[in-house]
Amino acid sequence: MDTFESLVRAEFAPKNTYLNTASTGLLPARAVAAMRTAVESSAAGDPTDMFGDVEASRAAYARLVGVPDSRVAAGASVAVYSGLIAASLPAGAEVLTAEGDFSSLVNPFHVRADLKVRSVPLERIAESVRPGTALVAVSAAQSADGRIADLPAIREAARTHGARTYVDASQAAGWLALDANAYDYSACVGFKWLVCPRGVAFLVVPEDLGGLPPLFAGWVAGQRPWDACYGPIDELAHSARRFDESPALFSYAAARHSLELLAELGVDAIRVHDLALADRFRTGLAALGHTPVPSPGAPTVSVPGLGHRQGELSAAGIEVSDRAGNLRAAFHLYNTTEDVDRLLDALSTLPS
């Protein structure tokens, strides 16, 4: 029986110390092979069934977040799905967001001048829901520093005041167990912790489709897509597929295999692995006299004042991010204790 480590080592062999999953995840070998096959088959005039790959990816993501695949739309961008949700709100509706949350989540609400967007510190989201709040939109984990939202408290506060909830799981799905049933809407890109290529994103909607207008419905949104290629679509898909974007097929050819690998490894096992590495890094930082942004229970660690070291670290073969002046390191399934220690050693020796 394959162990966690043997499965990971069979799929990943980075040439450097890669600690930047919060920006872009590494692709497993099986996904690379599948994409190569899809590209070469298309070049030869005999393309593989990449629309079948879209459906397999949709089903795999649905299993990951615990919903029927009929509630999952397949697209390419959280920003597009945020825009769709923004378009569903009536003029004057109040949207509650976290200060400094990721732009793809919040900006589509700001560009509608007739909405009232209110931003508060992440830790105050739940207590800030009030009568008249129509929607709470928040990332499950913050991109900048890994802080995790108190989603159960936010959900309860929203229910108390009749607000809907919209969760961006892009920095959480793949290492944090998520129950998409708990929220009205959730969206997630695939190219971070889900180790898919860019061009893959998912939207989960309620069983009744959540009152969303199918504003960008093209032929793939038809109940019978191949009969919906010309003129107005007579019948939209009865499922969340009516919110599909025209898919980036080569990306989905790979994505189904990335998602299958995560299922084989198990999100709980991935979380234990990732958090152990992050905690090792936090302990090492303390020994060096550095205090990261508090982000308990998260595999992303952000260290104030060290963002300027990113270029030096990259030159030394260690990939991290510079976010708002902070050094951001993100630990995922393909990382090891040696990776952590190499980063700590570099921080202790490189000039400040």
pLDDT digits (tens, 9 = 90+) for 239-277: 999 999 999 999 999 999 999 999 999 999 999 999 999
Average pLDDT value for residue range 17-45: 98
CATH number of the domain to which 51 belongs: 3.40.640.10
Write down which residue in 211, 231, 264 finishes a domain: 264
Write down which residue in 232, 264, 296 finishes a domain: 264
- Helical (H) or strand (E) element with 34: helix 29-43
d(CA 206, CA 228): 25
Q: Are residues 118 and 211 in the same domain?
A: yes
Q: Are residues 236 and 110 in the same domain?
A: yes
Give the residue numbers spanning the domain of 154.
Answer: 33-264
CATH number of the domain to which 296 belongs: 3.90.1150.10
Using DSSP's 3-state secondary structure scheme, residue 350 falls into coil
DSSP letters for 52-114: HHHHHHHHHHHHHHTS-GGGEEEES-HHHHHHHHHHTSPTT-EEEEETT--HHHHHHHHT-TT
Backbone angles phi, psi at 29, to 5 degrees: -60, -40
Write down which residue in 202, 232, 264 finishes a domain: 264
Q: Are residues 259 and 270 in the same domain?
A: no
pLDDT digits (tens, 9 = 90+) for 98-137: 999 999 999 999 999 999 999 999 999 999 999 999 999 9
Q: Are residues 72 and 221 in the same domain?
A: yes
Q: Are residues 186 and 279 in the same domain?
A: no
Q: Are residues 313 and 332 in the same domain?
A: yes
**How many domains would you assign to the chain?**
2
Contacts (Cβ under 8 Å, ≥6 apart) of 144:
100, 302, 323, 324, 326, 328
Q: Are residues 152 and 113 in the same domain?
A: yes
> For the chain, how long is the longest CA-to-CA vector?
66
